[in-house]
Chain A
């Protein structure tokens, strides 16, 4: 079946540190891949997406590359800020529904 596995948190970093949140997926065919972010007390917002192999999604300094050979879509940011503290969800879209990973809570310390 289709599923998403992402690294468990919480992840705690200092401001300006480099961020990687790992995500791998299992799916039939070629799903679209997404990262969503949930800030405290808010709903989910689409952060970035990639729809085919080798596509790179980017937004707000975050990047992720669709790697078909490793079935991965790792999220990276070169220099995190306190305002990036949130829960990040990796997701795939297949057969008319989004399937989410379990989420990774990120804490950025000033």
Chain B
């Protein structure tokens, strides 16, 4: 069973479109995250949610809106897609305190053309 699953795995879309990426974790973790990995492999946190509440919003354009219907799901909706949004987006979850590592999904490669 996949612990953190993201869909779709690949997404190709035109500039100006609106798209969503879904994430689900079956680990019972309270905290979920979205990270963006750029073409140089640099990883940067975008959002974190704890038990459906927004905890971290790292100066991400407001075209990006996370939605957490329950603590097992954290979806990412992107409006008016731009070329610079092309990246790999990773969902992750974590149990408990800072001492624990995160479990990452396998990523969604978004290509905006």
Contact = CB atoms under 8 A, between A and B. Distances in A.
A51 B99 contact: yes
B31 A96 contact: yes
A65 B25 CA distance: 31
A87 B41 CA distance: 9
A102 B42 contact: yes
B106 A42 contact: yes
A109 interface: no
Interface residues of A, number: 25
A93 interface: yes
Contact of A97 (B33, B41, B104): B33
The prevalent SS among residues of B at the interface is strand
Contacts of A98: 33, 45, 92, 102
Contact of A31 (B42, B45, B98, B102): B98
Interface string B44-71: 1100101000011000000000000000
A105 B40 CA distance: 11
Interface in A43-87: 43-46, 49, 51, 87
B35 to A, nearest CB: 8
| Most A Cβ at <10 Å: residue of B40, B43, B55 | B43
A105 B41 CA distance: 9
Nearest to A44: B104
A36 B103 CA distance: 10
B33 A43 contact: no
A100 B43 contact: yes
Given A49-B99, A97-B33, 4 more contacts: A42-B106, A43-B106, A93-B99, A94-B98
Interface of A: 31-32, 34, 36, 38, 42-46, 49, 51, 87, 89, 93-100, 102-103, 105
